[in-house]
């Protein structure tokens, strides 16, 4: 009972000392599990006086293997349900004990310091791949289908749909084509509309025929002969510089819509637009001239648009006409004519004598009958802008051809990035009309801005929808333009070390119609060279105004007015005082020639080394030096100038058997004991070269000089121009 007053800590310490001082035999006997169990049972009864303590659990829960070096004790440690004894013994032995504090509401937690890691920015998703791919949309497509085509999530598209003020029941609800375009443009995709050609009323329509060919092959004269007019006589310089649309009533009673395209090389975009909207292409080839570059270009445009071709061999009345040569040239270009077993019709005509026109009409109507041209008459119209111009009193005007449906006066339309409400519709003669049917060229007015030639005309339901669609297209256009500029600047920075700096030539372009503005701009940009960069800073439709002069003064540009009225005297005086050039032209040849000459003058040119003269060594003279201070021995080459002239300030090159022996400056040049600067052909002189005295009789000394070579302006017979450096 002597243990009753002893605490747990004292008991633990006493037990440790007792076991530590135990005899060797006892310690050895405890190494077996049976002996250990008997010792535990014998000693457990004497510890019952201590409340809350079991000797067996205490012994098994402790780490006495550290003292006894007993391996089986490790197994008993895991079997103990009580850890109080283990905790007390480890504290007395000086072992570290992890003290876990209760996780209460107000307990303080020890937090490890934050790990400082480098900031890795999130990769932003670029829409460059999406912009390069065109997404086809149609009326009635669902949000799920639009998400698959654009590659965006349905949740993202739903947020955009809410922002545009639309709501749908589910992602499978059909969308209108306008809303689908807004959503696709918001995610940065390029959009192509797929219109449904089905309708309740489908009727035959007149064919749309585009007249294409080389410049001065008689395209406009042929149209004049068909419609009995004289448009070609009023053309500036005798060449067409606009894309015109006409309706011609044939002698058979049928009507055909003709598009007249320019043949000059600068108007390639106009020919491409004409081939894109046409049903049949009439390829005009002069019988005395044959196939030319723009003829081949017209063939490529027609093949790209998958449009059938009817060949009209014009000027067959001339003595030098050779139709068989034209047929062979066309066959060599892949056009299989009917005479050679193909399906392409060829008609020989003369626009001047008006012969063969009946055969041409019959060929066109036969081709149209084979194609079985029909169009939907009911429903909203789908139209195509052929040309656009700015009228002083009526505002922006767009010449368009209706593809399908009916265009009605008073409808809200979106044309490219512009919108408006149709205020008036006029036919090709200028008469007002209430509606326009398929294949009918009309001129519409009422747009808020000037559209681009080639834009589609889309009829929308309301003014709000028209405003929203126009704003979305403008935003998409600006975003693509900025991305293109940034990519161009990045490429320039990469190539800045290799490409020398170029002189900049800023130009402001003003023309009468939108298509001509694009053609002139493309032609001027084609004059870019490694030395001069043609920067078209501003383009516009209409005459030159005061704002153009102010802009030109700010950026140091010249103003080009093409086929527009001469500016007022006040504007001309202001431009003269500011030192600004205003070039007014009506013929594309003269315009490109003037700009080409200006580019040649402004170009810095390239430095080239050329041989200014040659001298042959006839004899060698040697002058002995008196001392090193006054100079050593000097060898003088007695020469005769055999070509050009020899200059003292130029670089000399010593040639022996055609190989360069030395190249360096001239130290002295004398003629008859007099120092001279130059020696002409046929004269004799004495030459001393710096650091060179290895002359031999028969050597040739060349006089080299640096010259600046300017680029050349080259114009071909086909009308193509370029700057050759």
For residues 165 and 167, what is the distance between their CA atoms, to the nearest angstrom?
A: 7
**Is 538 found in the same domain as 620?**
no
**Can you give the CATH number for the domain in which 586 is found?**
3.40.50.10050
**Is 352 found in the same domain as 226?**
yes
**Is 594 found in the same domain as 616?**
no
CA 438, 439, 442, 446 dihedral sign is positive
Tell which of 602, 624, 659 closes a domain.
602
* 129 to 150, 175, 228, 474, 703: CA distances (angstroms): 11, 25, 52, 20, 58
**Is 243 found in the same domain as 231?**
yes
SS3 label, residue 203: strand
For residues 175 and 152, what is the distance between their CA atoms, to the nearest angstrom?
A: 17
For residues 440 and 256, what is the distance between their CA atoms, to the nearest angstrom?
A: 9
Task: Examine residue 544 and state whether it is found in any structural domain, yes or no.
Answer: yes
**Is 637 found in the same domain as 584?**
no
Tokens coding 185: 């443009």
How many domains would you assign to the chain?
Answer: 5
**Is 366 found in the same domain as 393?**
no
Residue with tokens 């000459």: 597
**Is 415 found in the same domain as 311?**
no
**Is 362 found in the same domain as 381?**
no
Domain extent, residue 558, equals 502-602
Q: What angle do CA 154, 158, 161 make, to 5 degrees?
A: 140
3-state DSSP: the chain helix, strand, coil percent, rounded to 5?
A: 35, 30, 35
Contact (CB, 8 A) for 621 and 633: no
Task: Examine residue 221 and state whether it is found in any structural domain, yes or no.
Answer: yes
Tell which of 173, 193, 213 closes a domain.
193
Contact (CB, 8 A) for 385 and 409: no
Tokens coding 651: 């670089």
Tokens coding 97: 């004990």
The stretches of 566-696 forming alpha helices (DSSP H) are: 569-578, 588-602
**Is 434 found in the same domain as 329?**
no
0.75 cut: is pTM over it? no
For residues 617 and 615, what is the distance between their CA atoms, to the nearest angstrom?
A: 7
Q: How many residues does the chain have?
A: 725
**Is 472 found in the same domain as 395?**
yes
**Is 662 found in the same domain as 682?**
yes
Q: Going by DSSP bridges, is the β-strand pair 674-675/659-671 parallel, antiparallel, or unpaired?
A: antiparallel
Contacts of residue 72, defined as CB under 8 A and 6 or more positions apart, other chains included, come to 31, 33, 36
The stretches of 53-152 forming alpha helices (DSSP H) are: 55-61, 65-68, 73-79, 84-92, 128-132, 143-150
**Can you give the CATH number for the domain in which 369 is found?**
3.40.50.300
Extract long-range pairs of 668-671: CB within 8 Å, 24+ residues apart: 668/636
pLDDT at position 564: 87
**Is 701 found in the same domain as 615?**
yes
Helix H or strand E encompassing 328: helix 323-332
User: pLDDT means per 10 residues in the chain (725 residues)?
Assistant: 46 52 44 51 51 48 43 43 50 50 51 51 45 76 86 83 76 83 83 72 85 81 75 46 70 80 63 75 88 85 85 87 87 84 87 86 89 85 85 86 89 91 88 88 89 86 88 85 74 54 84 84 83 86 89 88 88 90 85 84 80 89 63 81 89 88 88 87 88 86 84 66 69
Enter the DSSP assignment of 266.
G
Tell which of 577, 602, 627 closes a domain.
602
Phi and psi at 254, nearest 5°, equal -80, 155
Distance spanning both ends of the chain, measured CA to CA: 121
């Amino acid at each position: 009972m002597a243990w009753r007053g002893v605490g747990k800590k004292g008991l633990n310490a006493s037990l440790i000392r007792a076991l530590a001082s135990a005899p060797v035999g006892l310690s050895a006997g405890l190494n077996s599990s049976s002996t250990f169990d008997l010792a535990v049972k014998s000693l457990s009864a004497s510890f019952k006086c201590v409340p809350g303590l079991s000797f067996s659990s205490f012994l098994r829960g402790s780490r006495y293997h550290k003292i006894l070096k007993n391996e089986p004790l490790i197994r008993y440690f895991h079997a103990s349900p009580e850890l109080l004894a283990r905790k007390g013994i480890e504290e007395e032995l000086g072992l570290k004990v992890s003290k876990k504090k209760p996780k209460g509401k107000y307990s303080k937690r020890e937090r490890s310091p934050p790990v400082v890691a480098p900031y890795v920015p999130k990769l932003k998703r670029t829409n460059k791949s999406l912009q390069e791919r065109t997404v086809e949309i149609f009326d009635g497509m669902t949000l799920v289908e639009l998400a698959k085509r654009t590659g965006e999530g349905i949740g993202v598209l739903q947020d955009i749909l809410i922002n545009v003020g639309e709501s749908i029941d589910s992602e499978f609800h059909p969308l209108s084509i306008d809303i689908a375009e807004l959503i696709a443009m918001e995610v940065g995709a390029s959009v192509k509309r797929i219109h449904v050609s089905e309708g309740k009323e489908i009727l035959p329509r007149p064919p749309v025929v585009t007249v294409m060919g080389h410049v001065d092959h008689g395209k406009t004269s042929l149209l004049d002969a068909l419609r009995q007019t004289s448009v070609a006589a009023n053309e500036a310089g005798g060449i067409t510089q606009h894309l015109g649309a006409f309706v011609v009533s044939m002698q058979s009673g049928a009507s055909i819509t003709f598009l007249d395209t320019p043949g000059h090389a600068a108007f390639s975009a106009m020919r491409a637009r004409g081939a894109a909207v046409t049903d049949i292409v009439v390829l005009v080839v002069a019988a005395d001239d044959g196939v030319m570059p723009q003829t081949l270009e017209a063939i490529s445009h027609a093949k790209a648009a998958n449009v059938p071709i009817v060949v009209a061999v014009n000027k067959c009345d001339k003595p030098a006409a050779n139709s068989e040569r034209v047929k062979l040239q066309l066959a060599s270009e892949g056009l299989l004519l009917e005479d050679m077993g193909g399906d392409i019709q060829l008609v020989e005509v003369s626009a001047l004598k008006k012969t063969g026109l009946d055969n041409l009409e019959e060929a066109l109507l036969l081709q149209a009958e084979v194609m079985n041209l029909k169009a939907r008459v009911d429903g909203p119209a789908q139209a195509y802008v052929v040309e656009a111009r700015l009228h002083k009193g009526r505002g922006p005007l767009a010449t368009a051809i209706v593809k399908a449906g009916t265009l009605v006066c008073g409808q809200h339309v979106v044309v490219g990035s512009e919108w408006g409400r149709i205020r008036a519709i006029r036919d090709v003669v200028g008469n007002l009309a209430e509606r326009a049917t398929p294949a009918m060229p009309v001129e519409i007015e009422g747009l808020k801005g000037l559209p681009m030639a080639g834009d589609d005309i889309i009829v929308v339901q309301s003014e709000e929808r028209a405003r929203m669609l126009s704003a979305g297209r403008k935003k998409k256009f600006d975003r693509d333009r900025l991305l293109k500029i940034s990519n161009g600047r990045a490429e320039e920075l990469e190539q800045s070390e290799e490409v020398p700096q170029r002189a900049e030539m800023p130009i402001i372009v003003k023309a009468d119609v939108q298509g001509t503005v694009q053609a002139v701009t493309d032609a001027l940009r084609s004059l870019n060279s490694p030395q001069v960069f043609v920067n078209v800073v501003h383009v516009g439709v209409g005459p030159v105004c005061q704002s153009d002069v102010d802009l030109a003064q700010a950026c140091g540009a010249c103003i080009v007015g093409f086929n527009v009225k001469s500016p007022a005297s006040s504007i001309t005086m202001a431009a003269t005082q500011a030192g600004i050039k205003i070039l007014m032209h009506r013929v594309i040849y003269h315009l490109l020639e003037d700009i080409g000459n200006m580019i040649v003058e402004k170009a810095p040119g390239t430095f080239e080394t050329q041989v200014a003269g040659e001298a042959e060594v006839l004899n060698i003279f040697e002058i002995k030096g008196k001392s090193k201070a006054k100079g050593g021995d000097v060898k003088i080459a007695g020469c005769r100038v055999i070509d050009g002239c020899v200059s003292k300030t130029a670089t000399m090159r010593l040639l022996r058997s055609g190989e360069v022996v030395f190249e360096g400056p001239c130290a002295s040049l004398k003629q008859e004991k007099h120092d001279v600067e130059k020696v002409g052909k046929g004269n004799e002189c004495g030459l001393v070269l710096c650091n060179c005295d290895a002359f031999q009789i028969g050597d040739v000394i060349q006089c080299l000089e640096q010259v600046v070579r300017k680029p050349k302006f080259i114009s071909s017979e086909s009308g193509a121009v370029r700057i050759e450096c």
